[in-house]
Amino acid sequence: MSDPARKSLLIYTGISLTAALLFLLATYATGISYPPVARIGGAVWVFILSMIITMPIVISHMNKRHI
């Protein structure tokens, strides 16, 4: 795997993990008693959607920056 590809992978995975963690923290901060399945399922959903959204953006940005 090339250097820009590896950096892109780390960046968009980090963004997605951060978004999922923020979702989990938000569910606890509301004070509402959500079931664990809802919290974890929501965090997984946020992670997947964040990966879908950020992957092409970060990859194209890193490719432009590398060239």
pLDDT of residue 13: 97
Domain count for the chain, please give it.
1
pTM: 0.87
| 10-residue averages of pLDDT along the chain (67 residues) | 84 97 95 94 98 94 81
Q: Rounded to 5 degrees, what angle do the CA atoms 62, 42, 31 make?
A: 120
pLDDT of residue 65: 80
Q: By residue range, what is the domain housing residue 55?
A: 3-66
**HEC string of 12-66?**
HHHHHHHHHHHHHHHHHHCCCCCCHHHHHHHHHHHHHHHHHHHHHHHHHHHHHHH
